[in-house]
Each structure stands twice: as C-alpha cells, then as structure tokens.
C-alpha cells in the first residue's frame, strides 16, 4: 500500500554481519533478561555473525514462535535494546530487532518449518487466534498435543493481522506466522464465535486456553459520537490494513493518548490527511504511548493538544468539529476515537465458572490457570492490553501450565 513505507527497513546481508560482529556476546546477557520471552539474544546474534541464519531463526523460534512479528513491532528501546550493555560504554546499542528480522525473513524465504513432538493423544482448544493463542498452540504442538484454534474473525492472527499499524507489520507477514502453525498441524476454525454461532463442548478437549484479547473500543459518552465521520481506532486500522480504508476527510481529530491512538494518527497522515490533531485529556507526561512513538508521530506531522477533554462532536448530519468545553473548538471532518477497549470475555467466563476481576480473567501468573482448572488464559484478556511479546510469553507459559496439569 502506498504511503506506508517501512519505519525500519531490513539490513542488507553484509550490514547484518557487521552489526552482529559488534555484539559482545555477554554472559548472563541483559538483553535476554529484558525480553519477556527470554530469547537467547547473544546466541542468535553469534549464529548470524557465523552466517548460520537457519540456526539463528531456530534459536529465536524456540523461545518466541512469533519471532517475525516481534522483530517488527516490539518496543525494543524499552526492552532488549534498552538493556544492551553498549549504553554503558556510550555506544549505540546493538540493533537486535533488525538482526532478528534478518534471521526470520531468511527463515520464511527458505520455507522453514517448526519441529514437532510425537503425538501425546491430548487435545486442547484455544479460543481466539491472536498472539497469545498462537504461542500457546505452538508450544503444545511441540509437545505433541492436537490443537484447534477458534476465532470469530475471517482471518487468524488477531491484532497482528487487524490491529498493528501497516508501517510496522503487514497482514501478509502475519499470515506467514499463521501458516507456519498450520503447517505444524494446528487446526484453525475461523468465523467461529464461541458462545455465538459455535458452542464449545469442553468434554471434547482435555484443556481450553482463552486468548480472546480485548473487546470493542469504549464509547466516549458525549453527544454526536454516533455521527457519520466518527470511527473507532481499531476499526479504522483494521479497515485500511485488510480491506478498504474507511472514508476520511483532510482534517482529522484523534481522541486518546495510547499507542493505538498514535498508530491511527500516523496512519491518517500517511493516508493523506493534511491536518491530524491528537487530543488527550491529561498532560504530555501522562500519555500511555511510548515516548518514541510520540516523537515518531510528531515527526510525521501529527499535532497534539493536551488537557483537552471532548464535550461534544458537532455537525449537521456529518462531523464538523470536536468541542472541548467552551474554550476549544477543533474544526474537522473525521474523528477517530481510541480511549481503551472494553473486555470481551464476560460470556465465556460466565458459561464456565471462570472468575473475573475488573473484566479481566483471573489467572495464576506461573501457569495461566483460571478458577476453573480445565481453563487457562493469557494475553490482553488477562493483562488488560500489553505488547505482542507479552501475549506470546503468557501464551507459552499457559501451554507449559497445561502440559504440567495434563500429566
Ligand atoms: Fe550483545 Fe548488547 Fe546483548 Fe551484550 S547486551 S549480548 S552486547 S546485544
């Protein structure tokens, strides 16, 4: 799609080797400790330096089956690269994310496959086809379980397919990761909404993993929010990534202060909006978006108004302005709302006696097991909305919890 040039283009083969050779291969490496999935970073970088790209990819995948997406969407500045000892030496940190991408791109270009364990006779259902379920399914397949993933959307991949900004990661790349799991024997049932058009009979399975993510964006609760020209950020991003972009004018107001709001604002700029303003009800320091995402949005020409709380969206049959009290009126023709998502798990929890707290599934941190011992959970529906790599770590942990419980 034009206008969506990549933020961090891939290394050339030579540049990757040069960068890999800068690594000090630290003992007890802080980069590995800072990764929620604990990828053995010095090991895979050393394999790249030795031109063993397949070995590097297998090192990455052994800890993180979504190594491709994480190489693109991880906030590396605050994780592995932020922890790199090079900072202490006043040198540029090793570009771990781009090196990981080098190994993973090679793996997919060469038709790589995942190792599989001998069949154990155990069957597990995963509800939701996002990163947490994919990671859980991969770990279970590695240990010989039969896995079926149910998802209400037509395409698998969850937010990696529908919700990550195009300039970071495309649906085609997300599909590669889904196909890797399908090739490893995971069964996908898309268009299957548990509790909707499909009833899950949990007697058919030895255990169930819940990885349904979050629900729709919360309403703003102001007059005019249902007017034509008002979109929620998740729908806006999903539409331009997987289908046809939603209609958008040249003056856009984005309401919210998180990373999804930033993604939507940058996408609006790249889709051609001349004037994009983000408004946030608190201060710059209170924004939940990462600092580098905020700087990136500024660099892309997004403007910011802080301590501005919308009181109404006005217009005559279509959006004309966002009003923030009596003193601020922002003329616009499109409004994108991104103020956090409501939780999606209520129905599944109620039907299976699973405890929730503030709308999130209560799960043991070490195993992901819920108050119904046959049900495990992980990802955004447990943690309230974190990074892809956190969902992968929690999905993998739950798979280990399931395997321990089954034996
Ligand atoms: Fe290499 Fe930096 Fe990790 Fe040390 S901390 S192993 S230098 S990437």
Mutate to test the pocket of ligand 1, among 43, 79, 86, 97 (most ligand atoms within 8 A of CB): 86
Which contiguous run of DSSP H or E holds residue 305?
Answer: strand 303-306
Integer Cα distance of 107 and 60 in angstroms? 11
Phi first, then psi: what are they for 95, rounded to 5°?
A: -80, 75
**Region 83-101 average pLDDT:** 97
Ligand 1 centroid–CA 78 distance in Å is 14
The two beta strands, 207-210 and 251-255, are unpaired
What are the residue boundaries of the structural domains of the chain, listed by start? 13-109, 123-215+342-406, 219-339
pTM of the model: 0.83
4 — pLDDT class (breaks 50, 70, 90): low
The residue with greater pLDDT, 385 or 396, is 396
pLDDT band at residue 105 using 50, 70 and 90 as cut-offs = very high
pLDDT band with cut points at 50, 70 and 90 for residue 95: very high
- Alpha carbon of residue 72 to chain centroid: 10
* Per-residue pLDDT reduced to its tens digit, 133-157: 999 999 999 999 999 999 998 889 9
Q: Which CATH class is domain 219-339?
A: alpha beta
22 CB within 6 A, ligand 1: no
> For residue 3, what pLDDT band results from cuts at 50, 70 and 90?
low
For ligand 1, atom 4: residue with the closest CA: 26
Q: Is the pLDDT of residue 1 over 60?
A: no
Distance 247 CA to ligand 1 centre (A): 46
Confidence bin at 263 (pLDDT 50/70/90):
very high
What pLDDT, on the 0 to 100 scale, is given for residue 235? 87
How far is it, in rounded angstroms, from Cα 362 to Cα 376?
A: 10
d(CA 54, CA 105): 10
The closest alpha carbon to 353, from 215, 128, 202, 213, belongs to: 202
Q: Within 13 Å of residue 272, how many CA atoms lie on the same side as its CB?
A: 9
Ligand 1 closest atom vs CA 93? 2
Tell me which of 18, 21, 31, 89 to substitute to probe ligand 1's pocket, judged by most ligand atoms within 8 Å of the beta carbon: 31
Ligand 1 close to Cβ of residue 84 (< 6 A): yes
Tell the residue nearest (CA) to atom 5 of ligand 1: 84
204 vs 343, higher pLDDT: 204
pLDDT in tens, 250-260: 999 999 998 88
What rounded mean pLDDT belongs to the chain? Answer: 92
Q: Is the dihedral of CA 74, 78, 83, 85 positive or negative?
A: positive
Q: How confident is the model at residue 7 (pLDDT cuts 50, 70, 90)?
A: low
Would you say residue 344 has pLDDT above 80?
Answer: no
Task: Classify domain 13-109 at the CATH topology level.
Answer: Fumarate Reductase Iron-sulfur Protein; Chain B, domain 2 (1.10.1060)
CATH architecture of 123-215+342-406: 3-Layer(bba) Sandwich (3.50)
pLDDT digits (tens, 9 = 90+) for 212-260: 988 777 788 899 999 999 998 988 988 888 777 888 999 999 999 988 8
Given a cut of 60, whether residue 2 has pLDDT beyond it is: no
Q: Is 97 a pocket residue for ligand 1 (Cβ < 6 Å)?
A: no
Q: Report pLDDT for 273.
A: 96
| Ligand 1 centroid to residue 34 C-alpha, Å | 11
C-alpha gyration radius of the chain: 22
Establish whether residue 21 lines the binding site of ligand 1, counting it when its CB lies within 6 angstroms of any ligand atom: no
Kindly state the percentage of the chain with pLDDT values over 90.
Answer: 75
Q: CA-based angle 231:232:238, to the nearest 5?
A: 100
Query: What average pLDDT does this structure show over 156-174?
Result: 84
Instruction: State whether the beta carbon of 92 lies less than 6 angstroms from ligand 1.
Output: no
Cα separation, 267 vs 323, in Å, equals 23
Atom number, ligand 1, closest to the C-alpha of residue 25 = 6
Same fold, 123-215+342-406 and 219-339: yes
């Amino acid at each position: 799609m034009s206008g969506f040039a990549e933020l961090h283009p891939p290394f050339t083969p030579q540049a990757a080797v040069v960068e890999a050779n800068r690594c000090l291969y630290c003992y007890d490496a802080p980069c590995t400790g800072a990764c929620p999935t604990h990828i053995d970073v010095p090991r895979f970088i050393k394999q790249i330096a030795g031109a063993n790209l397949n070995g590097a990819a297998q090192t990455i995948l052994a800890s993180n089956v979504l190594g491709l997406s994480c190489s693109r969407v991880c906030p590396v500045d605050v994780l592995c690269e932020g922890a790199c000892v090079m900072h202490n030496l006043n040198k540029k940190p090793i570009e771990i994310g781009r090196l990981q991408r080098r190994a993973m791109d090679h793996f997919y270009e060469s038709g790589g496959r995942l190792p599989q364990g001998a069949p154990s006779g155990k069957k597990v259902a995963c509800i939701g086809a996002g990163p947490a379920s994919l990671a859980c399914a991969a770990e279970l397949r590695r240990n010989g379980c039969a896995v079926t993933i149910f998802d209400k959307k037509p395409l698998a991949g969850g937010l990696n397919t529908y919700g990550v900004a195009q300039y970071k990661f495309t649906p085609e790349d997300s599909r590669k990761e889904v196909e890797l799991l399908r090739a490893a024997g995971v069964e996908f049932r898309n268009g299957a909404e548990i509790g909707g058009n499909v009833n899950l009979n949990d007697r058919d399975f030895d255990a169930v993993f819940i990885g349904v993510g979050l629900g729709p964006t919360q309403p703003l609760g102001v007059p005019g929010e249902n007017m034509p020209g008002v979109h929620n950020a998740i729908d806006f991003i999903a539409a331009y990534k997987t289908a046809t972009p939603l209609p958008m004018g040249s003056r856009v107001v984005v309401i919210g202060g998180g990373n999804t709001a930033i993604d939507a604002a940058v996408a609006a700029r790249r889709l051609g909006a001349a004037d994009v303003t983000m408004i946030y009800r608190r201060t710059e320091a209170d924004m939940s978006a990462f600092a580098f995402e905020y700087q990136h949005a500024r660099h892309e020409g997004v403007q910011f108004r802080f301590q501005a709380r919308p009181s109404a969206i006005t217009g005559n049959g279509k959006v004309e302005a966002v009003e923030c009290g009596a003193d601020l009126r922002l003329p616009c023709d499109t409004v994108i709302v991104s103020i956090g998502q409501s939780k999606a798990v209520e129905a599944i929890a109620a039907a299976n006696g699973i405890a929730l707290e503030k709308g999130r599934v209560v799960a043991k941190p070490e195993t992901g097991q819920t108050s119904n011992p046959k049900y495990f959970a992980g990802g955004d529906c447990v943690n309230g909305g974190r990074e892809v790599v956190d969902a992968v770590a929690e999905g993998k942990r739950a798979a280990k919890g399931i395997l321990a419980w089954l034996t």
